[in-house]
């Protein structure tokens, strides 16, 4: 099966996950499990998957509930679940993890997440650190603070007056639209994603990208944010678990990488001893689709190879 094709993995949540797999080439080093961001899907990671496959990694990726080609009775497009969406998403991730480790039981596994996927990845590690050998948390903001709490209040009001299963009218103005205003002379509504106009155009033209999440999905996303912000949970992880934290210095979604550095500082303060953090200059939100993506992918592959090697000893 090529990465263009999807298989279906039915999970305990009732979801029929669209799952993609790309086998490793050459010397096999490990598994990388990819978690995509909001309002996109796993096929957008085909180039990244191919690059990592060439460096010896089996790749697994799936479309989250409410995204892409995944189907679930309680998760139409733009919604994670009718209730307990955060838990449902994490249980789906666990199903993919189990599938990968069942097929390759003796290989180290690195969980990777971009943006929303980064929120998911860290929260998954909180629940299942025994099932991962390392974690890559990219372009994720766990520093929502009072503004995030204000957003939760707005979402509560929207749920009361509009319902949970409609797109939020307010949150896109505070997030996507505000972030795009940080870009000088934007051509599209999504220039905040990348300086590469061709990649932005592909995103704009993709019918599975760029939609507005429901009130319900936004609420679940903030659950992931504020759970990930708890040092009480972070402190329960083993201190030698390797972490790879990446951000962009021109990424408005992470306050120009400040939120990524804040997670780094939290970890170091708690005594984590294997944290690799890089904020790439001039880079916007989607480093994997940026003009300096070859450097970003190469440096990640080098880290993944070193990390898998240590885990395999």
Per-residue pLDDT of the chain (313 residues; tens, 9 = 90+): 689 999 999 999 999 999 999 999 999 999 999 999 999 999 999 999 999 999 999 999 999 999 999 999 999 999 999 999 999 999 999 999 999 999 999 999 999 999 999 999 999 999 999 999 999 999 999 999 999 999 999 999 999 999 999 999 999 999 999 999 999 999 999 999 999 999 999 999 999 999 999 999 999 999 999 999 999 999 999 999 999 999 999 999 999 999 999 999 999 999 999 999 999 999 999 999 999 999 999 999 999 999 999 987 5
Q: What is the pLDDT of residues 159-170, one digit of tens each?
A: 999 999 999 999
According to the model, what pLDDT value does residue 313 have? 53
Residue of 52, 47, 40, 49 whose CA lies nearest to 20: 49
Looking at the DSSP assignment, which residues form a beta bridge with residue 20? 61
55 touches 304 (CB < 8 A): yes
Question: Dmax over Cα atoms in the chain, in whole Å?
Answer: 57
Residues 71-85, buried b or exposed e (16+ Cβ, 10 A)?
Answer: bbebbebbbbbeeeb
According to the model, what pLDDT value does residue 193 have? 98
What is the residue-wise DSSP string for 254-309? GTTTHHHHHHHHHHHHTT-S-EEEEEETT--S-GGGSTTHHHHHHHHHHHHHHHHH
Task: Extract the runs of DSSP E, i.e. beta strands, from 45-108.
Answer: 57-62
Q: What is the pLDDT of residues 171-187, one digit of tens each?
A: 999 999 999 999 999 99
Q: To the nearest 10°, report the CA torsion of 306, 308, 311, 313.
A: -80
Cα-based distances in Å from 192 to 141, 179, 213, 225, 251: 15, 6, 18, 21, 7
Strand, helix or coil at 106? coil
Q: Which position has the token pair 């990694």?
A: 57
Domains of the chain are: 7-312 (3.40.50.1820)
Cα–Cα dist 292/16, whole Å: 35
């Amino acid at each position: 099966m090529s990465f263009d094709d999807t298989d279906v993995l039915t999970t305990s949540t009732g979801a029929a996950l669209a799952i993609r797999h790309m086998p490793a080439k050459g010397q096999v080093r490990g598994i990388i499990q990819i978690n995509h961001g909001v309002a996109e899907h796993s096929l957008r990671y085909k180039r990244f998957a191919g690059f990592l496959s060439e460096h010896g990694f089996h790749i697994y990726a799936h479309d989250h509930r409410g995204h892409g080609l995944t189907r679930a009775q309680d998760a139409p497009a733009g919604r994670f679940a009718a209730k307990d969406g955060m838990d449902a998403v994490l249980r789906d991730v666990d199903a993919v993890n189990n599938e990968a480790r069942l097929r390759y039981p003796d290989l180290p596994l690195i969980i990777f997440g971009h943006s929303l996927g980064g929120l998911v990845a860290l929260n998954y590690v909180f629940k299942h650190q025994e099932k991962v050998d390392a974690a890559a948390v990219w372009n994720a903001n766990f520093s929502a603070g009072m503004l995030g709490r204000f957003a939760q209040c707005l979402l509560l009001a929207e749920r009361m007056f509009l319902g949970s299963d409609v797109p939020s009218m307010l949150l896109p103005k505070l997030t996507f639209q505000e972030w795009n205003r940080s870009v000088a002379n934007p051509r599209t509504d999504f220039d905040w994603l990348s300086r590469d106009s061709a990649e932005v155009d592909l995103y704009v033209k993709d019918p599975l990208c760029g939609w507005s999440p429901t009130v319900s999905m936004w609420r679940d996303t903030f659950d992931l944010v504020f759970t990930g912000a708890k040092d009480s949970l972070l402190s329960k992880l083993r201190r030698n678990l390797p972490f790879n934290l990446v951000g962009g210095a021109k990424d408005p979604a992470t306050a120009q990488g400040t939120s990524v550095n804040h997670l780094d500082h939290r970890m170091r303060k708690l005594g984590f001893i294997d944290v690799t953090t890089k904020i790439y200059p001039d880079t916007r939100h989607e480093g994997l689709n940026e003009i300096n993506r070859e450097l970003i992918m190469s440096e990640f592959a080098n880290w993944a190879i070193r990390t898998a090697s240590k885990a395999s000893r």
